[in-house]
């Protein structure tokens, strides 16, 4: 796909993107994104330090030739050398360990060999306790006030300011990512090691908190400008992979959800959402403004052509009398938006039924359009029958109904037919006509009770009857441990992540007060040639894209896991996101030429690890850098876009006030432009966001966007009582953002106080009213108190005049 530079090019018909969404990109791609291109010279530096030390202790042999015991002995020697006080010597040893984790590439001939030995060495390093030693060094570097203060004073920060941190974080990332990814043929020992490492990372073993909390602390310290030299890209990648490893990816989430529903005696899920989304087919995007202008001009020409063609055909001289080509009409959106004030009857006369049906399937390229002509005889088909794609029968999702929807339906029906209501009773149907009975039966067949509803009901019972219900048994899951650790500073973590996301967004403009996220990509000496400048420009753009990818995936994982663990944990994080302006931030991200962002080619394949350490470096030219790779799209950018759309869906779903924020921020045209990306999963989440606000956008918008409405009907799950397409919903009430969010905040605070506040039962603690008992309690005093006791008595008691009258009056 060629990179489009303006809206006209971006709006033209694009091919379907063969993109498969997952937890991460391919293993090699995830490893290569750890390194900036400006770090490329450090590969040989790591090798040199390793070989210098290795040749001093192992004469005349290579690492691959050593036995397992000899390799373990050498790693143990490196581990001992890590504890030296000399900072430079420690760094050399750390570089030697990093070379081992990178796969002793100087002894390898192929990329596969590098990955094999990297995996072998990483498991060996973990078994020898290297990770724990690195963790101690990382804590020392984080607390290194001298490095922080010198970085704060520097006018420009470069790679050299974060050398030690980058080496340590690179080793830790390689260990986490390599052990996390399960390979076919892994031995039982390696599987056991993986589970042990997963438990270790998720448990509060590091100063009483999980490893992820240490990385979160680095993020907040960086964003508060106290440590501007921290290599943020590496920190965020390591944090994301740690959360992914300890909590689990999307497949594990689905398995946990199935187990939790089974434990709560809820019916199984109606379908496998992952499979349904993967089997979806992308729809053609709506027309753009440029296409509409061109359409208007062609429509005028088309009307004149039809008149002349009709007259000519009567005389028999028309070239269309024998063979008249039919060009398919673009779409209902295009047609309706040409003249939105035209009456419906005239529009219906001009619409061709076939054109309407096929409008959702595809659009004619604006450059290939000809005059639209309606021939009297049936024309030859536009495409061969074999190429025509047929829609699958039925809708992809089973419809769902909430208990609240059934109650509302019965309340309306009883008011209409009987004149009074029965509260939450959904079983009594006395006095209601037969069709209402059938409707209630259909609604109950599709009733879906979510885990969140059960958790909310249980929380209400615990709040109302704390003594009767007793103590709640909270399972110590990795998500629960992480939430407990994040709770005191959760708002700071959320704000820091959104600050970084804003700084890395392509639509953000550089400001003097914004944080500098390029500390671990800018070289010490700035480029002096055009080629070097182009290379650095690609590196900086790639660096920002990777940061967006890591933050979007991290936030989505946290939201999904906390929602499954407890709904109020999810609501707490989501509310902090909303209060930190996450909704306008994501909309600002999408307010760009999204096709250009997804097809961006900010990568240099020759410099990607492990390719760059095995093959000879080709001569880079300005033409080769400008051409980029041959991929149809950029995986990480499409992945980031889908993640951000999913986050926006998560925090706005069932929240009237937040849905109104989407309307107020005029998100509809921004989201509609995102439909140009022909990828089914991305389109699904855009359509979901459009669906929840269609009833507030007005009848004219719905009429002018019928193709989008049709796509919503085809791809998004139906709620049987949801009048999303008509605007007759009871939720179309005045927007009271504050009241809704305050009520939610109150519920969240009650939950946090009940479950996590140690002094939660202070109101129910018995009070000792016996004077002798109170005075007889043993009070712990300082060891030196008896030395100064008499002085204390003189100063605090005897020399202080007692105002007896005032004391009596106070009584």
Q: Give the Å distances, CA to CA, from 272 to 101, 130, 275, 277, 657.
A: 38, 41, 6, 9, 30
Number of other CB atoms surrounding residue 742 within 10 Å: 11
Tell me the DSSP string of 671-714.
Answer: HHHHTTS--HHHHHHHHHHHHTTGGGS-HHHHHHTHHHHHHHHH
H or E stretch including 576? Answer: helix 567-579
375 and 320 in contact (C-beta within 8 Å)?
yes
| Gap between the Cα atoms of 402 and 419, Å rounded | 24
Q: 3-class SS at 544? A: helix
Q: Is the pLDDT of residue 513 over 70?
A: no
| Gap between the Cα atoms of 37 and 460, Å rounded | 54
Helical spans, DSSP H, in 203-352: 211-223, 232-247, 250-263, 273-278, 289-315, 332-338, 344-350
Kindly state the tokens that stand for 655: 């929240």
H or E stretch including 530? Answer: helix 530-565
**Dihedral sign, Cα of residue 432, residue 434, residue 437, residue 439:** negative
Give Cα 501 distance to the centre of its chain.
11
Number of other CB atoms surrounding residue 129 within 10 Å: 12
Number of other CB atoms surrounding residue 704 within 10 Å: 22
| Gap between the Cα atoms of 785 and 783, Å rounded | 6
pLDDT, tens only, 73-126: 999 999 999 988 888 999 999 999 999 999 999 999 999 999 999 999 999 999
- Band of pLDDT at residue 252, cut at 50, 70 and 90: very high
Q: Which residue has the tokens 């006209």?
A: 8
| Gap between the Cα atoms of 650 and 577, Å rounded | 11
| Gap between the Cα atoms of 260 and 281, Å rounded | 31
Residue 538 gets the label, from left (phi > 0), alpha (psi -120 to 50) or beta, of alpha
Minimum mean pLDDT range among 124-128, 373-377, 456-460, 600-604: 373-377
| Gap between the Cα atoms of 250 and 455, Å rounded | 21
- Band of pLDDT at residue 302, cut at 50, 70 and 90: low
375 DSSP 8-state letter: -
Q: Considering all CA atoms of the chain, what is the largest pairwise distance in Å, rounded to the nearest integer?
A: 127
Kindly state the tokens that stand for 801: 């005049």
- Band of pLDDT at residue 763, cut at 50, 70 and 90: low
pLDDT, tens only, 703-732: 999 999 999 999 999 998 888 887 665 444
Residue (of 269, 252, 92) closest to 717 by Cα position: 269
Residue (of 243, 242, 277, 236) closest to 549 by Cα position: 236
Provide the pLDDT for residue 771: 75
pLDDT, tens only, 318-347: 433 333 333 333 433 433 343 333 333 333
371 and 298 in contact (C-beta within 8 Å)?
yes
* HSE-CB for 520 with a 13 A CA cutoff: 29
Tell me the DSSP string of 351-370.
Answer: --HHHHHHTTT----GGG--
* HSE-CB for 125 with a 13 A CA cutoff: 29
778 DSSP 8-state letter: -
Kindly state the tokens that stand for 471: 């103590």
155 and 16 in contact (C-beta within 8 Å)?
no
For a pLDDT cut of 90, what percent of the chain falls above it?
55
741 and 657 in contact (C-beta within 8 Å)?
yes
Q: Is the pLDDT of residue 787 over 80?
A: no
Give the residues across from 209 on adjacent strands.
206
Mean pLDDT of 622-649: 88
559 and 245 in contact (C-beta within 8 Å)?
no
787 DSSP 8-state letter: G
184 DSSP 8-state letter: T
pLDDT, tens only, 438-461: 999 999 999 999 999 999 999 999
Task: Output phi, psi for 7, to 5 deg.
Answer: -65, -30
Angle at CA 526, nearest 5°, toward 524 and 529?
140
Q: Is the pLDDT of residue 5 over 50?
A: no
Provide the pLDDT for residue 291: 62
Q: Which residue has the tokens 């909309």?
A: 587
159 exposed, middle or buried (CB, 10 Å; 0-12, 13-18, 19+)?
buried
Q: Is the pTM of this model over 0.85?
A: no
Task: Output phi, psi for 390, to 5 deg.
Answer: -100, 145
| Gap between the Cα atoms of 548 and 638, Å rounded | 11
**Dihedral sign, Cα of residue 187, residue 190, residue 194, residue 195:** positive
**Dihedral sign, Cα of residue 252, residue 253, residue 258, residue 263:** positive
Instruction: Give 150-153's long-range contacts (Cβ < 8 A, gap of 24+).
Output: 151/227, 151/228, 151/229, 152/225, 152/226, 152/228
pLDDT, tens only, 170-206: 999 999 999 999 998 889 999 999 999 999 999 887 7
| Gap between the Cα atoms of 671 and 742, Å rounded | 29
């Amino acid at each position: 796909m060629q990179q489009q530079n303006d809206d006209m090019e971006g709006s033209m018909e694009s091919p379907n993107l063969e993109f498969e969404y997952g937890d991460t990109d391919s293993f090699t791609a995830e490893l290569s994104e750890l390194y900036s291109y400006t770090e490329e010279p450090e590969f040989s530096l790591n090798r040199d330090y390793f070989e210098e030390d290795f040749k001093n202790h192992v004469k005349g042999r290579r690492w691959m030739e050593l036995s397992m015991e000899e390799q373990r002995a050498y790693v143990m020697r490196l581990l001992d050398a890590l504890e030296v006080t000399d900072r430079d010597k420690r760094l050399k040893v750390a570089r030697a360990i990093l070379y081992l984790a990178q796969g002793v590439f100087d002894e390898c001939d192929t990329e596969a060999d590098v990955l094999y030995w990297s995996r072998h060495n990483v498991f060996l390093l973990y078994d020898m306790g290297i990770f724990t030693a690195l963790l101690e060094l990382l804590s020392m570097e984080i607390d290194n006030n001298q490095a922080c203060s010198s970085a704060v004073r520097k006018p420009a920060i470069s790679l050299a300011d974060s050398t030690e941190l980058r080496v340590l974080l690179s080793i830790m990332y390689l260990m986490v990512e390599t052990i996390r990814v399960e390979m076919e043929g892994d031995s039982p020992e390696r599987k056991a090691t993986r589970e042990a490492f997963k438990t270790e990372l998720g448990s509060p073993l590091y100063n009483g908190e999980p490893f992820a909390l240490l990385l979160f602390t680095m993020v907040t310290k960086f964003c508060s400008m106290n440590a501007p030299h921290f290599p943020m890209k590496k920190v965020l990648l390591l944090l994301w992979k740690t959360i992914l490893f300890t909590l689990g990816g999307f497949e594990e989430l689905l398995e946990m959800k199935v187990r939790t529903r089974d434990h709560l005696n809820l019916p199984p899920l109606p379908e496998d959402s992952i499979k349904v989304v993967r089997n979806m087919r992308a729809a053609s995007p709506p027309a753009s403004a440029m296409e509409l202008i061109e359409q208007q001009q062609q429509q005028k020409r088309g009307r004149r052509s039809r008149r002349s063609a009709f007259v000519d055909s009567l005389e028999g001289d028309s070239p269309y009398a024998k063979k008249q080509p039919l060009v398919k009409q673009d779409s209902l959106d295009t047609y309706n938006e040409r003249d939105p004030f035209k009456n419906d009857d005239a529009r219906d006369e001009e619409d061709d039924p076939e054109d309407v049906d096929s409008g959702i399937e595809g659009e004619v390229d604006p450059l290939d359009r000809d005059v639209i002509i309606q021939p009297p005889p049936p024309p030859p088909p536009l495409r061969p029958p074999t190429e025509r794609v047929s829609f699958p029968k039925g809708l992809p999702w089973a419809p769902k109904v909430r208990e609240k929807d059934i109650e509302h339906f019965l309340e309306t029906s009883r008011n209409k037919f009987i004149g009074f209501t029965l509260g939450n009773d959904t079983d009594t149907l006395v006095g209601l006509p037969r069709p209402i009975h059938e409707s209630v039966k259909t609604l109950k067949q599709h009733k879906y009770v979510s885990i969140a509803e059960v958790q909310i009901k249980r929380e209400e019972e615990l709040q109302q009857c704390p003594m009767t219900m007793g103590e709640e048994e909270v399972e110590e899951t990795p998500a629960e441990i992480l939430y407990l650790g994040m709770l005191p500073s959760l708002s700071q973590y959320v704000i820091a992540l959104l600050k970084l996301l804003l700084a890395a967004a392509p639509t953000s403009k550089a400001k003097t007060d914004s944080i500098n996220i390029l500390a671990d990509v800018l070289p010490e000496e700035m480029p002096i040639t055009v080629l070097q400048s182009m290379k650095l420009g690609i590196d900086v753009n790639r660096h920002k894209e990777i940061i967006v990818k890591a933050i979007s995936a991290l936030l989505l994982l946290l939201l999904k896991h906390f929602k499954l663990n407890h709904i109020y944990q999810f609501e707490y994080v989501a509310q902090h996101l909303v209060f930190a302006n996450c909704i306008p931030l994501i909309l600002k991200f999408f307010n760009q030429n999204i096709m250009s962002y997804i097809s961006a080619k900010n990568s240099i394949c020759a410099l990607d690890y492990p390719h760059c350490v095995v093959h000879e470096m080709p001569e880079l030219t300005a033409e080769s850098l400008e051409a980029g790779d041959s991929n149809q799209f950029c995986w990480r950018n499409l992945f980031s876009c889908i993640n951000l759309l999913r986050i926006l869906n998560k925090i706005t779903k069932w929240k009237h006030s937040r849905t109104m924020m989407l309307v107020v921020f005029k998100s509809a045209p921004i989201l509609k432009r995102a439909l140009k990306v022909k990828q089914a999963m991305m389109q699904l989440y855009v359509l979901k966001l459009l669906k929840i606000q269609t009833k507030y956008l007005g009848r004219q918008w719905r009429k002018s966007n019928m193709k989008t409405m049709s796509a919503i009907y085809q791809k998004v799950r139906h709620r049987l009582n949801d009048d999303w397409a008509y605007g007759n919903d009871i939720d179309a009430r005045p927007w009271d953002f504050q009241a809704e969010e305050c009520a939610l905040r109150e519920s969240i605070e009650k939950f946090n106080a009940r479950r996590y506040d140690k002094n939660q039962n202070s109101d129910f603690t018995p009070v000792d009213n016996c004077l002798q008992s109170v005075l007889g309690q043993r009070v712990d005093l300082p060891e030196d108190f008896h030395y100064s006791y008499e002085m204390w008595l003189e100063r605090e008691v005897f020399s202080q005049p007692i105002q007896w009258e005032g004391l009596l009056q106070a009584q």
